[in-house]
Amino acid sequence: MPEVLITGAEGRIGRVLADGLAERGMSLRLFDRVDGVPGAIVGDLADLSLLESSMAGVDCVVHLAGIPEEAPFPDLLEDNIRGTYHVFEAARRAAVGRVVFASTNHVIGFHPSSDVVDERVEPRPDTLYGVTKVFGESLGRLYHDKHGIEVVAVRIGSFRDRPATERELSTWLSHGDSVRLFAACVDAPQVGYLVVYGVSANTRSRWRDGAADAIGYRPADDAEVFAGEVSSGEAADRFHGGGYTAPGHTGGGF
């Protein structure tokens, strides 16, 4: 089994993945700025030397840490741009073979919601947050092409235990499918550089990519079973990014 380091292990996704990947028998190291798990490495993405030493002997880094929504640019610059650079550079120095990078659907947020999109569409980020994830995907491309690190960029959809809005009937990523997806990203042989959409097997999904089949990701959940329970608050959204595309959007949502 591979040795895996998870950054942001105390975040919403990190906690689910730490439990789920451990149940699959993976050997995990947990890294977070919050001292919340016994045995976890407590540190900040600003500390390049600590990241490098934390990755010694690691086969794969699952990079979840950072700001997960819109925020003031100075904060995004520190955590999502400088911090992501430190993760990739530490992985290079520590000879890590693969990085799984938590990107977001908001890198393509301004594509019209009527369009079904794949991993080849041009980035159209809907926020400064989305811009930082475009940076991360491009950085991963560079570190693969120049340094040979295998990279999977996961454009995460709406990560919840169940969908809450009409938009999320297409964008939902269940907790169970998130574990299946990231396990496939870690275990798949010879991924090179891939972009995959982090989404469940939703009947209404508007995202398609070939990478899911390439890595053996088989989602099991469909948001449609909750269709009678969700609100219709975003029924009129024009773009894939939903409320993130609004000029006044400052944070929150998925």
Active site residues: 129
Burial class (CB in 10 A: 0-12, 13-18, 19+), 57: exposed
Q: Structure tokens of 201?
A: 């097997």
What is d(CA 45, CA 202) in angstroms, rounded to the nearest whole number?
A: 34
Contact by Cβ (8 Å): 152, 210? no
Residues 6+ apart with CB under 8 A from 8: 14, 31, 32, 63, 64, 65, 66, 102
C-alpha closest to that of 202 among 220, 180, 184: 220
For every residue of 214-252, DSSP letters joined together read HHT------GGGGTTTSB-TTTT--BTTGGGGSTT--S-
Please, are residues 124 and 111 in contact by the beta-carbon 8 Å criterion? yes
Secondary structure of 50-108 in HEC code, one letter for each residue: HHHHHCCCCCEEEECCCCCCCCCHHHHHHHHHHHHHHHHHHHHHCCCCEEEEEEEHHHC
Count Cα atoms within 13 angstroms, Cβ side, for 212: 20
Q: Which helix (H) or strand (E) holds 158?
A: strand 158-159
